[in-house]
Amino acid sequence: MLITHPLLGLRDAQEFTYLGDARLIDRPAPSAPDAEAAFCDYVFLRDNPAGVHRELWYHEHGDRSWLVVTRDTVTHEVLGAELARNVALARTRCSK
Amino acid sequence: MTRLAGGLIDRSQTLNFTFDGQRYHGHAGDTLASALLANGVRLMGRSFKYHRPRGVLSAGSEEPNALVELRTGARREPNTRATTVELFDGLEARSQNRWPSLGFDALAVNDLLSPFFTAGFYYKTFMWPKAFWEKLYEPVIRRAAGLGRLSMQADPDVYDKGFLHCDLLVIGGGAAGLAAALTAARSGARVILADEDFRLGGRLLSETRTLDGAQASDWISALEAEFESLPNIRVMRRTTVFGVYDHGIYGAVESVSDHLPEVSGRVRQTLWRITAKRAVLAAGATERPIAFADNDRPGIMLAGAMRAYANRWAACPSETVAVFTNNDDGHHTARDLAAKGVQIAAVIDARPEAKARGDYRLIAGGMVTGSRGRLGLKSIEVQANGRSESIECGALGVSGGWNPNVHLFSHHRGRPVWNEPLQAFLPGEDGPVGLIPAGAAAGHFSTADALRSGARAAQRAMDELGIAASLPDLPRAEEADYTVAPVFHVPGKKRAWVDFQNDVTVKDIKLAHAENMRPVEHLKRYTTLGMATDQGKTSNVTGLAVMAELTGRSIPKIGTTIFRPPYTPVTLSVLGGGDTGRHFRPRRLTPTHHWAEAQGAVFVEVGQWMRAQYFPRPGETHWRHSVDREARAVRGAVGLCDVTTLGKIDVQGADAGEFLNRLYCNMMATLKVGRVRYGLMLREDGFAYDDGTCARLAEDHCVVTTTTANAGLVYRNMEFARQCLWPELDVQLISTTDAWAQIAVAGPKSRALLARIVDRFDLSNEAFPFMACTELTVCDGLRARLFRISFSGELAYEIAVPARYGHALIERLMELGADLGATPYGTEALGVLRIEKGHAAGPELNGQATALMVGLGSMVSQKKDSVGAVMSRREGLAGDRRRLVGLRPVDPAGNVVSGSHLFAEGAPRKFDTDQGWTTSACYSPHVGSMIGLGFLENGDERLGEVIVAANPLEGESSRLRVVPAHFVDPEGARLRE
Amino acid sequence: MKFSGFRVFAEALKGHTGWRPLWRNPDPKPSYDYLIVGGGGHGLATAYYLAKTFGRSRIAVLEKGWLGSGNVGRNTTIIRSNYLLAGNEPFYEFSMKLWEGLEQELNFNAMVSQRGIINLFHTDAQRDAFRRRGNAMMLAGAGARLLGREELRAMVPFLNYDNARFPIKGGLMQARAGTARHDGVAWGYARGADSHGVDLIQNCEVTGFRLDRGKVRGVETSRGYIAADKVGVAVAGSSSRVMAMAGMRLPIESHVLQAFVTEGLKPTIPGVITFGAGHFYISQSDKGGLVFGGDIDGYNSYAQRGNLPVVEDVVEGGMALMPMIGRARLLRMWGGVVDMSMDGSPIIDRTQIEGLYLNGGWCYGGFKATPASGYAFAHLLATGASHETARAYRIERFARGHVVDERGAGAQPNLH
């Protein structure tokens, strides 16, 4: 597989380590009253779609950036990739 | 039979070879199969199940019958297709799966028993008596099964791997592939042309048809010369593209020196990973046989193969041959062979309207209904127009039509589509992205069509890449129509083979049908149809057709199986032979490795690292002697241990403290500059996973250590936290594990030793107390970091210097510490010291333990959030009552064995009563007996109790007393001295 | 029809004209008491035990493709009960006992072959962990042996003892482990279920659940609506997809696991061998092919195919462990989609929807569990209570913190 790194261009997927669903960026608020339930959902439950999936890949043997890669889990087609940090920052701004 | 005239063999080069010990000779350009045929050898193998005598069926990689063991000794290569072995001088081959000889095979008795050995018979029997399966039936079956033998020796040859990139990969060097490569190469695109054969040309090499009125080989030679002159095309002969992977990555194996007598010193094969923007699948087509009674005798072969042997290799299995066909192609064989002087006994064409294409006897509307000849064909039975006759012939060419080689096209699970006029499956629309079929692989069977489709496929590919490519002038070529009748098998009562190697006959398919094993995958799995080493290349479609006929449904309704990689079998050595033996994984050496080696250290693998395990001294005859001595040296004087392998992460930035506060379960933000704190990290699911120290060198600079095993994981998780969870924090990370050599200096005399190397630095307890840290210089100006931390429970330090000075540092410390008793110690003594001190390590922090279990529950701060804090409060974790305890044998001479399970005295040994296990154990020179650590149910409340550690695995059990989990200096006074 | 050597003999004499279909091809009825979604090993075994052992009737199995087309038909056929944790080991040992009587139970030779499994260890720490595991196996009555290096060498002399990156120090052996003919298992259960009146309905894809006030009423299928009192889903690999139709999210990711087989060879490897320092395990089939595999590819996938780097990694492991296989040829590689759960252990449980039950999350190890999984799921469907060996497989374990995590890898499926 090849992954389109937003800074480095096409890179072999072997350079990366896979984590999973990009929702892992959305860590729940630890002080919320239902925090334990929210964390259970966050840690354990997944949509696991057959189709387009936003997922986290870590460029471990490269520039060490975490990417959010959009990939089809049926065809393995990579539809895009962005820096996870930017995704996370955008989310933080939205929530403010 | 002697050689025919002509052919593409070099008669000036005679090559000697042996088959089953018999000497023969052939010529350069021969395959083993063609040379054997030219020497009059028709019998080349035995079938898998019935051990039927078999000759060569094909002239290519689809061969199911002529499998041999090639070469000798450790280079013995079982199941090698004689049809793809390029003949070399001195070649040695032997037949396989027969005993005692190919001509007389005792297991041919299976053939007589074949009425019992029908498809799937083994599912219905061998069940009684129950114990006989493993003891009798299965061993007999296993011995009879299998094909060739492995040498059982390591492969002595050398293999290589490489990466290639191109705009266009052309798979197959026949008419279509050559036209495609030419089109793309002339456009300037980067092209790779790969073909499994040792000569370019594909099927063109086996035909007498002309290109522009001349021999095809002339055109091929001209093309080869042009390719040679172009810098942008790489021609790869003897290279099989075996699989299509994601995003235009193709796996290919180049056979570099398999065709040479002497392999030694050269790479035998190379695995290429080819990344191609586009690819043209010009893999050609494979002829299929027609199933009729006893259609498997040596001498019965595919008509196209017979023609190839005659035209390309000037070989023919017999002086008199017949042809059985359901399409026009069979007639080409008769015509070409007749032209070579071979006598054509008859051409039997299943089509009543068939017309002769030459001067031979045609039996139109005829069927071959049987054959004779035990070890080689003698005659065939033919039925036509209600009459039957016997026709003598030593060989029969059979053509049941051609199947496009769509294999690679379905490697991404694309379904081929049935084409009624061609009676074959063609590539559909759902193939791998960027792979364009062309030529016979796409159903373009005439030479002219193949050339045109190849050129157009390349042009399309270039167009998609934005490269202008014009169609080259293609040579004039044959435009013959191809018509085929849907005749797949000849009805009859005797066995008619569909899958030759696995001995699957029409009868077996009928049985599968009767037993409702009708879906194509059931058919395949129940009968083993298409599961032999040829992966059904010559049998699948015929099998489907027979099942379709039986069910009264069309072939496409029956469905098709999906082809899996590899296209042809791939040697394991080339897939995995590059990094084996000691090179299987990288070996990381510590900065003091060579020093330790010179001291005679024994090393141990710790993940990728090699660490000194202990340093034996003369006179020490058992590892325990060395380890006890090393541990005593630390407790009594001073020991030195390389701890570089622990992960080291530099954390810098204004928010470094806050960031680490969120990663460690204990409070870290309050850590003062110049101080170190032990830290425990949890996974987000609340379990403990790593521990280490955090040293604050400056307000905005911390140095974190991790365990050796988790160095990579912790760093990855920290980057995740930094980039994905809290990107707003001002913090930067870098792993410095390899940048700093770190040496533990431990023992009551450690301060005295270090005082001899520090540059004007006050090491007194007041100035530099327990858990202090600093940056300083040592040995007259060498940059260093000093941490007063202790794993052993003694007064101890860890000193870090730039990695390249590690070797020098340990030498200096040993030299300056000689009078203090400075002693290097390895991982064994390190383990003893930490067990004596009750520190949790890998066996305790195994990913299944909570902070509570390892006695660090109070570390999980309730005042702040950190990774895993919320989930650690779940009932299952918070309520887990197992606790880490120390264990001592009641009998001081008794043993403590890690991995034993703990029980209350007198309790039965069952899961329900299982109360824990011993995690670590060692002999403690300090205590003077074995000691251990373990997790025990309610362990913290059971100090003093005697329990049983059971090790039924090794038939032992011992009584242990539960004690606090520190055996030395429980107050921690020594490390604060 | 009873199968036996005598029957084969008798049929041979009369030209095999007497064989009957192994199972019927019934059309779906409008309603059933029990619907099992998924005609793989687990679904078929569930239907079999539900009918045979628990005496239930009006049962149908709905299969999207052909019977046995899921992971039961694409695994590496290993059976073993060599687990560590109390939540797992008794269950797999129960499965092993069912394997040991399977042929006689089903009157179908699934070629259960107890040729043993050896898990190699390469460090003292690994040996200690295996000792703990071996002792757990002893507690469960599964049997185990800790082999030293020389003992091991006598048994399997062809391993790389002298030139290894990670020296082989010994192995944990379970003599009762081995292999079974995977398709035969599916067919044996299918034939057994059919003979007890279960309707096996192929080419029938479930496209939705009909729910009513928190209770399941039936399923929509490609062959029409089918009503049912209880619906058991056993579609490992596709669990998330199917349960999403009932509005559920699962602690599961779908991953691709590749497997490999070589050309047939004369007997080479006696039992199953797993490499403790690389990602590799191997056995040899009765037909002679070396059957082997390694790690999952590591990314979410429903593609049923993997990529080349994992192929190379697995074969490198194999070559490092047993260099003598080098000149064998890889015949076929394939991929299966596996339900990787968050703790590496399965789920056999009811759901919050009344009448809807789930059996999934088998990771890469569902085949060996087939008999016990079917039995325990049937027990749950029939009695409403978890089978005694499957109580740890409740879905609530994640929320409550009672995970069954053999590897201690945490909630990251691709690490299990």
Q: Looking at the complex, does the CB of residue A52 fall below 8 Å from at least one CB of chain C?
A: no
Query: Using the beta-carbon criterion (under 8 Å), do C240 and A44 form an inter-chain contact?
Result: no
> Omega into C90 within 30° of 0, i.e. cis?
no
Please list the ranges in chain B whose pLDDT falls under 50.
none
CB atoms within 10 A of CB B100: 8
What would the two tokens of residue C56 be?
């239930």
Q: pTM above 0.95?
A: yes
Distance in Å, alpha carbon of A30 to nearest chain B alpha carbon: 6
Query: Using the beta-carbon criterion (under 8 Å), do B133 and C113 form an inter-chain contact?
Result: yes
| Closest listed residue to residue B770, CA positions, set B787, B784, B755 | B787
Buried b (16+ CB within 10 A) or exposed e, B4-26: beebbbeeeeebebebbeeebeb
pLDDT (tens digit per residue) in C241-281: 999 999 999 999 999 999 999 999 999 999 999 998 888 99
**What's the distance, CA B506 to chain centroid?**
36
B724 → closest Cβ in A25, A39, A43: A25
A-chain residues near B684 (CB < 8 A): 27, 39, 42-43
What would the two tokens of residue B72 be?
């000798």
Phi and psi angles of residue C235, each rounded to the nearest 5 degrees, phi first: -125, 40
Which of C4, C74, C160, C327 would you mutate first to test chain B, the one with the most B CBs within 10 A?
C327
ipTM > 0.85? yes
Distance in Å, alpha carbon of A5 to nearest chain B alpha carbon: 14
Query: Using the beta-carbon criterion (under 8 Å), do B724 and A56 form an inter-chain contact?
Result: yes
Query: Using the beta-carbon criterion (under 8 Å), do B724 and A92 form an inter-chain contact?
Result: no
B-chain residues near C317 (CB < 8 A): 576, 584
The H or E element that residue C207 is part of is strand C206-212
Q: Looking at the complex, does the CB of residue A40 fall below 8 Å from at least one CB of chain C?
A: yes
* pLDDT score, position B134: 87
Q: How many residues does chain B have?
A: 977
Residue C386 in this model has a pLDDT that exceeds 70: yes
Distance in Å, alpha carbon of A23 to nearest chain C alpha carbon: 13
C-chain residues near B581 (CB < 8 A): 160, 163-165, 320, 323
- Classify domain C113-181+253-341 at the CATH topology level: D-Amino Acid Oxidase; Chain A, domain 2 (3.30.9)
- Classify domain A2-27+38-95 at the CATH topology level: Folate-binding fold (3.30.2270)
Would you give the DSSP letter of residue B735? E
* β-strands C199-201, B929-937 pairing: unpaired
Query: Using the beta-carbon criterion (under 8 Å), do A50 and C342 form an inter-chain contact?
Result: no
CA distance B70 to B193: 28
Through-space distance between the first and last CA atoms of chain B, rounded to whole angstroms: 97
Q: Provide Rg for chain B, Cα atoms.
A: 38
* pLDDT score, position B311: 97
Distance in Å, alpha carbon of B567 to nearest chain C alpha carbon: 9
Distance in Å, alpha carbon of A29 to nearest chain B alpha carbon: 9
CA distance B334 to B347: 7
Kindly compute the dihedral angle of the four CA atoms of residues A75, A81, A85, A90, in this order, to the nearest 10 degrees.
-100
Which partners does chain A have (≥3 C-beta pairs < 8 Å)?
B, C
What average pLDDT score do residues C158-162 get? 95
CA distance B315 to C95: 59
Contact between A12 and A60 under an 8 Å Cβ cutoff? The reply is no
Q: Provide Rg for chain A, Cα atoms.
A: 14
Using a CB–CB cut-off of 8 Å, the residues of B that contact A are 245-249, 275, 412, 433, 684-685, 712, 716, 719-720, 723-725, 727-728, 865, 869-871, 873-874
* pLDDT score, position A94: 63
Query: Using the beta-carbon criterion (under 8 Å), do A77 and B719 form an inter-chain contact?
Result: no
Q: Looking at the complex, does the CB of residue B162 fall below 8 Å from at least one CB of chain C?
A: no
- Per the DSSP assignment, residues forming a β-bridge with C209 are C219
Query: Using the beta-carbon criterion (under 8 Å), do B566 and C332 form an inter-chain contact?
Result: yes
Query: Using the beta-carbon criterion (under 8 Å), do B514 and C20 form an inter-chain contact?
Result: yes
C-chain residues near B565 (CB < 8 A): 332-333
What average pLDDT score do residues C323-338 get? 96
A84 → closest Cβ in B684, B712, B723: B723
Distance in Å, alpha carbon of A66 to nearest chain B alpha carbon: 7
Using a CB–CB cut-off of 8 Å, the residues of C that contact A are 238, 240-241, 244, 249-254, 298-303, 307, 309, 342, 398-399, 411-414
Q: Looking at the complex, does the CB of residue B160 fall below 8 Å from at least one CB of chain C?
A: no
B-chain residues near C284 (CB < 8 A): 142
The H or E element that residue C240 is part of is helix C239-244
B-chain residues near A40 (CB < 8 A): 871, 874
Mean pLDDT of chain C, nearest integer: 97
Domain ranges of chain A: 2-27+38-95
CA distance A74 to C300: 9
Kindly compute the dihedral angle of the four CA atoms of residues B6, B11, B14, B19, in this order, to the nearest 10 degrees.
0
C-chain residues near B240 (CB < 8 A): none
- Closest chain C residue to the Cα of B123, Cα to Cα: C109
Contact between C94 and B860 under an 8 Å Cβ cutoff? The reply is no
A44 → closest Cβ in C241, C251, C254: C251
A-chain residues near B873 (CB < 8 A): 36
B564 → closest Cβ in C325, C332, C400: C332
Query: Using the beta-carbon criterion (under 8 Å), do A66 and B275 form an inter-chain contact?
Result: no
Please list the ranges in chain A whose pLDDT falls under 70.
93-96
C-chain residues near A46 (CB < 8 A): 240, 249-253
A-chain residues near C309 (CB < 8 A): 13-14
CB pairs under 8 A between A and B: 69
Amino acid at B864: K
* pLDDT score, position B1: 54
- Closest chain B residue to the Cα of A74, Cα to Cα: B412
CA distance B333 to B644: 73
3-state helix, strand, coil in chain A (%, to 5): 30, 35, 35
Distance in Å, alpha carbon of C406 to nearest chain B alpha carbon: 8
Which of C282, C329, C404, C406 would you mutate first to test chain B, the one with the most B CBs within 10 A?
C329
Distance in Å, alpha carbon of B549 to nearest chain C alpha carbon: 18
CB pairs under 8 A between B and C: 350
pLDDT (tens digit per residue) in C28-62: 999 999 999 999 999 999 999 999 999 999 999 99
Query: Using the beta-carbon criterion (under 8 Å), do B865 and A30 form an inter-chain contact?
Result: yes
